[in-house]
Amino acid sequence: MKNKNSGSMQRSAAINAALFALASAATTVAGAQQAATPAAADSPVALEEVLVTATKRGNENLQTVPIAITAQSQATLEAKGAQDFEDYARSVPSLSFVDSGPAFKTYVIRGVNATGTGVATVGQYVDDILITGDLRQPDLRLFDVQRVEVLRGPQGTLYGSGSLSGTIRTIINPPDPTGYHVDVVGRASDTEHGGGNYNGAVTFNAPIVSDRVALRATAYDDEESGFINNVRLGTKGVNAEHTFGGRAALLMKLDDATRLTANVFYQRTETDGRDIVTTDGNNGRFNTDQYVHDPFKSQFKIYNLTLNHDFNWADLDFSSSYFSRADDNKFDSTLYDLSFGPTFFTQVVGLSTADALTDQYDTSKYITNELRLASKLNGPIQFVAGLFQQHIKTTFETLVATTEPNGYLKQPLEPVFGELLQHRTDQYALFSEVSYKFTDKLTGLLGARGFYADESDDRDSTHPFGGFVPPSVEPTVYTHAHKVTPKVYLSYQLTPEAMAYATVSQGFRIGGGNLSNIVPLPPQDRNYKPDSLWNYEVGAKTSWLDRRLILNSSLYYIDWSNIQVADFTDSTNALTFIANAGKARVYGAEFEMEARPTRSVTFGGTLALVEAQLTEDQPSTNAQFAGHSGDLFPNVPHVSGSAFAQYSHAVASSLEGFARVDYSYTGRQGTQFSPQNPIYNVVPGYSLLNLRLGLRAEAWEAALFGRNLTNAYAVNILEEASELTPRSVVPNRPRTVGIELRYHY
């Protein structure tokens, strides 16, 4: 314990010093900016001005929005060669993720992590379409994306329950009724220990009625080779991935003040097997010895109608959407079955083998409606007000059945266990934010969201464990919640190029019901309560040297209470439910810098320092897995950061050469609260390096690229489902090199 406390004190001292340094830097910047020359909007070397819609008040300059927000434009995403969430996440301060493979990531902002629970802590939107679900967030491909906005800190007033610690918004390019556009991109690459990868997309924009009606559509297809081999079954590249999909938007200008947009999204991901590497024994870095084949499928569909009307004094927006997702997830259960003894299932239960596979089929259906009004008044008062309604219905069907020696399910089926869980949520909310401009420089805001949630959970036992008792239906578990979450901030425009702000805000997450699995739950564990946090934050946004240099920083402190965490029904840690676990605190610092000293050179970087720890012992039915006051949060790196440098230069009258390097560092992290937990592991820190070199003309671009050039073995998560299963890791993709071709019209 002495070493543990000493290490914690050293980390705290380091973070306190960093916070003081950043606070001092912000103060220095504010003073220095008093003498700065106002930015020249048409400066030939000025950094790109990014517009965001995060406050739901229309387009605003990122540097004038008093929120800790990172926005990456289409130009930035394309310069990185970003294809999905992982390609930009590491360059956003305080944004990390727990990676369990394609379409199976848990997003974490500012250390507010709740792995093992059923509801996400980070909200996710596509345009105004809410797609936040459980911990497995949809991973939309980044083709024809206008920008990505990451709002750090709770966004409870405008974005609701799923935005406990922040919100991620992917903004798609809207249809353009003024002309035809075509964008084609193709990539071919090779991965070490794997093989060839092929990715492509095409976007087409067409005006149907000039200046009135337009259609924009994108289709894409990604083939990623597998680099993990199953040495037990003798199969290679078992984690090969295929993702394909598309989207279409039809824009109709009903009159000069009214627009109606219809959106359709579809995406499907299929893998031959999970990205799991077992590390017990001598299998090697990219081998697994699972007993079964475990393919994975995930798909989502979105249908949306959005109406926008300009009243001159305010904008009215109405969004109605339907989101559905279906996942088919399989994994090896053989070692759990063998824990009952080598002959239990064959001689007692009467099955042909103890080799077994768990197949979980998970569906989610969301109907969401939001109506809001955002003012455009001439006076000092501005407001946003709205109504929100959402209906959620989910099913979770589990089947455990025996397998053949070749790793596939035995036919006819020999079930070991089966159940069907059903969940329903109806949620309603009223929200508003009102700002008042006290002076030309000082602005205050007061906001609140009141919500009501009504939930129900049902469980049908389709095949009780071992088949010793008949199937049964449990009584419905009902849960109700209501709350008002406030937000207040003050922002001060020190100079035209420097702004400071202070914010107090609350985030929340609704509770729910627990259903008995193999081991019955006591009455007190049948429900878990909502959890909430208070976020206290100061920040500064500054521009220098005619917007050739941007420096932004933020400092925050979070009090989190009634934390929803996974608890365990027995010593195997294989059977979990959701419980409330007392209190925690999180504090840290974030820093962003971008500079363009010349027309040809741009560079920048980010830094995040996070300290997240329990401040109360975690109550648990299984003490050996419980966290204790002072324990650090799992899967939260204390230090993370990124850096990039980009160079471009004319090589001919109409031809430009370019080069870009991206570096990221993710610090050391643990996998459980307590180091005394029998399944506690340490994820070492790692660095990743990417490079792009290319040529571009007015209509086309060609680039050579390399990802993970140092071939770092970056373990994103150490996975150990229970003390009965071998330790496993989900490694990142090894070194990949390739070529990209892009055409614009």
pLDDT number for residue 571: 55
What percent of the chain has a predicted confidence (pLDDT) above 70? 88
Return left, alpha or beta for 23; rule: phi > 0 is left, psi -120 to 50 is alpha, else beta. Answer: alpha
pLDDT at site 288 = 87
- Rounded to two decimals, the pTM is 0.90
368 within 8 A of 323, measured Cβ to Cβ: yes
CA 415 to chain centre: 35
Torsion of CA 378, 384, 387, 389, to 10 degrees: 140
Whether the CB-CB separation of 412 and 359 falls below 8 Å is answered with no
Rg of the chain in Å (alpha carbons) = 26
> Using CA atoms, how far apart are residues 318 and 307, in angstroms rounded to an integer?
5
Domain containing 623 equals: 2-744
What is the model's pLDDT at position 207?
96
Contact residues for 240 (Cβ-Cβ < 8 A; gap 6+): 223, 224, 225, 226, 271, 272
Gap between the Cα atoms of 249 and 265, Å rounded: 9
What is the pLDDT, as a whole number, of residue 171? 96
The token pair that represents 412 in the structure block = 């006819």
Residue 12: pLDDT band with limits 50, 70, 90: very low
- Report helix, strand or coil for 469: coil
Report the Cα–Cα distance between both ends of the chain, in Å, rounded.
64
Q: Over range 593-598, report the average pLDDT.
A: 96
Listed in sequence order, the DSSP H helices in 355-394 are: none
CA atoms of 73 and 60, how far apart (whole Å): 14
Comparing 459-473, 474-488, 527-541, 632-646, the range with the smallest average pLDDT is 459-473
301-316 average pLDDT score: 97
- The span from the CA of 357 to the CA of 233, in Å, is 14
**Which pLDDT score, from 0 to 100, does residue 41 have?**
40
Check pLDDT > 70 for residue 299: yes
Q: 120, 132 in Cβ contact below 8 A?
A: yes
Which amino acid is located at 344 in the chain? F
Lowest mean pLDDT among 291-295, 356-360, 513-517: 513-517
pLDDT, position 35:
34
- Mean residue pLDDT of the chain comes to 87
* pLDDT score recorded for residue 1: 38
Q: Which two tokens stand for residue 524?
A: 């007190």
User: Which residue pairs from 113-118 have beta carbons closer than 8 angstroms and sit at least 24 positions apart in sequence?
Assistant: 113/612, 113/633, 113/634, 113/635, 113/636, 114/563, 114/564, 114/565, 115/566, 115/634, 115/635, 116/565, 116/566, 116/576, 116/578, 117/564, 117/565, 117/566, 117/578, 118/512, 118/578
Q: Which two three-digit tokens encode residue 126?
A: 């596509």
Is 80 exceeded by the pLDDT of residue 2?
Answer: no
Q: Is the dihedral of CA 612, 153, 118, 328 positive or negative?
A: negative
Measured CA to CA, the distance from residue 147 to residue 382 in angstroms comes to 26
pLDDT-based confidence at residue 28 (cuts at 50, 70, 90): very low
For 602-644, how does the pLDDT look when each residue is reduced to its tens digit (9 = 90+)?
999 999 999 999 998 877 666 777 788 899 988 899 999 999 9
Q: What is the pLDDT of residues 210-229, one digit of tens each?
A: 999 999 999 999 999 999 99
CA atoms lying within 13 Å on the CB side of residue 1: 3
Q: 236-259 pLDDT, tens per residue? A: 999 999 999 999 999 999 999 999
Task: Give the model confidence (pLDDT) of 716-733 as tens digits.
Answer: 666 555 555 667 788 899
* Choice between 682 and 722, residue whose per-residue pLDDT is larger: 682
Of 501, 506, 592, nearest to 549 (Cα)?
Answer: 592
DSSP 39: P
Instruction: Give the C-alpha separation, 346 to 438, whole Å.
Output: 77
How far is Cα 57 from Cα 39, in angstroms, rounded to an integer?
Answer: 24
Q: How confident is the model at residue 19 (pLDDT cuts 50, 70, 90)?
A: very low
Residues 140-190: tens digit of each pLDDT: 899 999 999 999 999 989 998 788 899 999 999 999 999 999 999 999 999
- Closest by CA position to 498, among listed 60, 40, 34: 34
Burial label for 625, CB within 10 Å (0-12, 13-18, 19+), is buried
Comparing CA positions, the residue from 384, 379, 491 lying closest to residue 443 is: 491
- 547: Cβ contacts below 8 Å, ≥ 6 apart: 39, 40, 41, 43, 46, 47, 49, 497
| Sign, Cα dihedral of 405, 408, 414, 416 | positive
Cα(487)–Cα(636) distance, integer angstroms: 26
* DSSP string across 323-354: EEEEEEEEEE-HHHHHTT-TTIIIIIS--S-S
Q: Please, are residues 405 and 356 in contact by the beta-carbon 8 Å criterion?
A: no
- Band (pLDDT 50/70/90 cuts) for residue 310 is very high
- What local confidence, expressed as pLDDT, does residue 570 receive? 57
Q: Any idea what the CATH number is for the domain that residue 542 is in?
A: 2.40.170.20
Angle at 278 between CA 276 and CA 282, to 5 degrees: 145
Q: Which residues contact 213 (CB under 8 A, 6 or more apart)?
A: 177, 207, 250, 251, 252, 253
Note if the bond before 412 is cis, omega within 30 degrees.
yes
What stretch of H or E contains 79? helix 74-80
pLDDT at 40: 38
Sole residue written with tokens 């259960």: 333
Who contacts 696 (Cβ-Cβ below 8 Å, separation ≥6)?
655, 656, 658, 702
Q: Return the DSSP state at 596.
A: -
Cα→Cα distances 412→356, 404, 405, 462, Å: 14, 11, 15, 17
Number of H helices, E strands in the chain: 5, 43
Q: What is the pLDDT of residue 47?
A: 92
Q: Answer left, alpha or beta for residue 355, where phi above 0 means left and psi between -120 and 50 means alpha.
A: beta
Domain count, the chain: 1
Quick one: which of 517, 534, 530, 630 has its CA closest to 580?
A: 530
Q: What is the DSSP letter of 48?
A: P
Could you report the per-residue pLDDT of 512-566, keeping only the tens digit for each?
A: 887 766 666 677 777 788 888 999 999 999 999 999 999 999 999 999 998 887 7
Backbone region of residue 682 per phi and psi (left: phi > 0; alpha: psi in -120 to 50; beta: other values) = beta
**672 or 535: which carries more pLDDT confidence?**
535
Is 420 within 8 Å of 396 (Cβ atoms)? yes
Phi, psi of 117 (to 5 degrees): -95, 175
Q: What integer pLDDT is reported at residue 377 of this predicted model?
A: 94
User: What backbone phi and psi angles, to 5 degrees, belong to 337?
Assistant: -65, -40
Parallel/antiparallel/unpaired status of strands 564-568 and 576-580: antiparallel
Q: How much is the pLDDT for 249?
A: 98
Please state, as a whole number, how many other Cβ atoms lie within 10 Å of the Cβ of residue 32. 13
Q: 673: helix, coil or strand?
A: coil
Reported confidence tier of residue 661, pLDDT bands at 50, 70, 90: very high
Neighbouring residues of 742: CB distance < 8 A, sequence distance ≥ 6: 78, 183, 184, 185, 186, 700, 701, 702, 703
